[in-house]
Amino acid sequence: MNPEIIENDTQQDEDSLQRYDINRGLLDGCAVYLSNRDRFPVRTGTFDREIHTKFTQFGRNARVFLDIGAAEGFYSVYMLKNTEAKVFAYEASEEASGSLLRNLEENTRNGHRLWYDDREIRNEKTDRDTTTIDCIAGHESGPVFLKIDVDGSELEVLRGAGRVLDREDTRLIVRSSSKHSEQECMRLLDEHGFDVSIVGPAWWRSIIRDRNSDEQARWIIAEKRQIEGLFS
């Protein structure tokens, strides 16, 4: 099946982007277009380095990947390059659309199942400019992997994912924007049967920073709670 890419009319200034073949970090083996801001962390493999191991573990057997807040598309690129998952990339920001679309196109081959959309993800569907995780993936089969990075709307996004969160084959990596958001997201995920852990900035982030270097923002890692057999 040929990839389906729904293009946004407004794109980031393409003159600021340069194509690189990456040979370090999560994107090792991928080709991506990078802005000045992202060239050093992505090319050195330090971009979001704290979650690389867990991300690759969750992505290994995923059949559906939702990249909510895809930004420049680095995580979607990894999944396109290294897995057979259907990839759904959602990014409402016009600023990121230029590099996002170019990165998706650069790493998409015939047979990939790829969707890009610029609608916002909310806890209920109100009009054509919004949708929910349940609307996107509620009827998909196979393990679902959610990566959410939406600058403060993470709880609202999760509240629109009730059916997906109830599944036993769902796992998540969610960037929290504040302590309050982190606690509320963890409470909701606990209600849906997830074991939750927190990954904060590495000790060396004070020296090697990237655009996500924020002491208040941490990653929530969630996978289904393992229940021992009654007769074990």
pLDDT one-digit tens code per residue, 166-221: 999 999 999 998 999 999 999 999 999 999 999 988 888 878 776 665 666 799 99
Residue 9 has pLDDT above 50, yes or no: no
What is residue 63's DSSP assignment? S
Of the chain, the end-to-end C-alpha distance in Å amounts to 45
Q: Are 231 and 205 in contact (CB under 8 A)?
A: no
Which amino acid is located at 32 in the chain?
Answer: V
CB atoms < 10 A from the CB of 88, how many? 22
Query: Mind listing the pLDDT tens digit for each residue in 79-88?
Result: 999 999 999 9
Q: 4-224 — its CATH code?
A: 3.40.50.150
pLDDT at 128: 65
Domain positions in the chain are 4-224
Please give the mean pLDDT across all residues of the chain. Answer: 86
CA distance 114 to 89: 8
Predicted TM-score of the model (pTM): 0.88
User: What's the burial of 126, exposed, middle or buried (CB within 10 Å: 0-12/13-18/19+)?
Assistant: exposed
Pull the structure tokens for residue 80: 């396109």
